[in-house]
Structure 1
Amino acid sequence: MKNIAIFASGSGTNAENIIRYFTDSEVVKVPLVLSNNRKVGVHERVNKLGIPSFVFSREEFVEGRAVLDKLAEYAIDFIVLAGFMNKISDALLQAFPSKIINIHPALLPKHGGKGMYGMHVHEAVVADGDTESGITIHYINENYDEGDIIFQATCPVAPTDTPEDVATKVHALEYAHYPQVIEKLLR
């Protein structure tokens, strides 16, 4: 059994989807969720599912000790980012080499890098006239969105699609593929 921690900064829909997917798994367990924001919806979502969530400050995250201690307390083997809005600290990268993954709402390397998250990505896809978008699941390294790509899935983008339309299509891909890719990685 592998224990994964989910890091999230927002509403928590992907975190909830992952937790539900692994509820009866014999391979993966999600014992906790960590966040850098006390006021976001992920806490309520996961707490309703019986999963504790913890908040850490920017300083605690950069320094790393408090976060690493919490991960050790729950015997975490692997970290999954699900809408997490901080760059991963060197302390975490060193403690979890090739054991931290992220999902990006576009087909990297296009529309990646600092500031490219959420609706900013979908707006860029529409503004560039892209005919497809999708998701990229990748390992984390010291640079934004530059880790080795694990998996990509695509969806069409019509000339009449708004950024909100693209977001809906991309979210469907996230929910369908992220838990399955996690499971394959940890089998």
Structure 2
Amino acid sequence: MIRLAILASGSGSNAEKIMEHFQNSSKGHVALVASNKPDAFVLERAKNFQVPTFTFTKKEMEAGVLLDKLREEKIDWVILAGFLLKIPDDLIRAFPNRMVNIHPALLPKYGGKGMYGAYVHEAVKAAGDKETGITIHLVNEHYDEGKIIFQAATSVTPEDTPDSIAQKVHALEHRYFPEVIESLI
């Protein structure tokens, strides 16, 4: 069975949907949830699914502590679900074409350093875009530039606010991310 690790920095609603999806899967299971924030709510969500957790600092990640933990846990795939740090190149090389991220926009629009969460939805609203969505992509050495695996769109109306756009995007994330991960593994 494929062993998945989820990296997340915040609340973890996507991580929860992934753990929920894989708790009865015959293809894979979530073996670890790791976070760079010891108070991230995603760690509580993991405990609810009896998934082991691991926390680390940016400096520890850059020193290889996270990579060592992933190897120790025999992780096959790394899933970024709201993880806000740039992944070190050695970690990316350790999981070639086996590290996937979700981005809350239709890349290549609104990608790159600093474009996450509310910042993306505010940019979509400010630009007057008629649609936005999600992009699921492989991770490479550049923010949000890895090979695109899947995209799904939703409309944006003039009445939408950044918050209502976020709700529409979260619905897409929760619906599609677990399914796309399962199809990849």
TM range (shorter): over 0.9
Find the residue that maps to 1:153 and give its secondary structure. Answer: strand
Give the superposition deviation at 1:63.
Answer: 1.8
Q: Which runs of 5+ in 1 are unaligned?
A: none
Distance 2:61 2:90 in 1: 9
Report what 1:184 is aligned to.
183
Q: Is the 8 A contact 1:8 1:35 kept in 2?
A: yes
Give the superposition deviation at 1:109.
Answer: 0.2
Report what 1:62 is aligned to.
62
Larger mean CA deviation between 117-126 and 68-77 belongs to: 68-77
Q: Is the 8 A contact 1:90 1:142 kept in 2?
A: yes
Give the superposition deviation at 1:91.
Answer: 1.5
Q: Which runs of 5+ in 2 are unaligned?
A: none
Distance 1:159 1:25 in 2: 41
Which residues in structure 2 correspond to 1:1-187 (within 5 Å)? 1-64=1-64, 66-186=65-185
Distance 1:14 1:8 in 2: 9
Give CA deviations for 1:69-96 in whole Å, capped at 9, x if unaligned: 2112211001000000000111101111
Give the superposition deviation at 1:98.
Answer: 1.2
Calculate the TM-score normalised by the size of structure 2: 0.98
Give the superposition deviation at 1:48.
Answer: 1.4
Give CA deviations for 1:3-24 in whole Å, capped at 9, x if unaligned: 0100000001110110000101
Distance 1:18 1:160 in 2: 31
Distance 1:68 1:40 in 2: 20
Which amino acid in 1 is paired with 2:2?
A: K
CA RMSD of aligned residues (A): 0.7
Find the residue that maps to 1:31 and give its secondary structure. Answer: strand
Give the superposition deviation at 1:117.
Answer: 0.1
Distance 1:68 1:163 in 2: 36
Find the residue that maps to 1:127 and give its secondary structure. Answer: helix
Which amino acid in 1 is paired with 2:184?
A: L
Find the residue that maps to 2:115 and give its secondary structure. Answer: coil
Larger mean CA deviation between 124-133 and 90-99 belongs to: 90-99
Give the superposition deviation at 1:148.
Answer: 0.7
Give CA deviations for 1:32-75 in whole Å, capped at 9, x if unaligned: 101100011011111111011110111111122x2122112211
Q: Is the 8 A contact 1:63 1:91 kept in 2?
A: no
Find the residue that maps to 1:181 and give its secondary structure. Answer: helix
| Same amino acid, percent of matched pairs | 56
